[in-house]
């Protein structure tokens, strides 16, 4: 009977994967939070805050279109 290879993942690979997952989770949280605050600025009629927040949202989204 042949020995089966164990699927061992390099610890640095696991660390990189964990960092990527965390970065994406933080990014999604920031986007959701920005949308919430943008809505609040709209409801309050705060044009200055709206512009600031939408600029930040565009920056976070990068080249992606604002939904």
Whether 60 contacts 30, CB under 8 Å: yes
Structure tokens at 41: 């600025």
pTM: 0.73
The reported pLDDT for the residue numbered 55 is: 95
The pLDDT tens digits for 6-54 are 667 788 999 999 999 999 999 999 999 999 999 999 999 999 999 999 9
Our measurement of the distance from residue 44's CA atom to the centroid of its chain's CA atoms, rounded to an integer in Å, reads 26
Q: Which pairs count as long-range contacts for 15-20, CB under 8 Å and 24+ apart, including other chains?
A: none
Structure tokens at 20: 């990527």
Whether 34 contacts 56, CB under 8 Å: yes
């Amino acid at each position: 009977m042949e020995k089966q290879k164990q699927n061992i993942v390099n610890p640095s690979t696991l660390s990189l994967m964990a960092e990527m997952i965390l970065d994406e989770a933080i990014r999604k949280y920031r986007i959701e939070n920005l949308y919430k605050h943008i809505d609040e600025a709209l409801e309050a009629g705060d044009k200055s805050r709206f512009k600031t927040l939408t600029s930040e949202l565009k920056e976070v989204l990068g080249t992606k279109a604002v939904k």
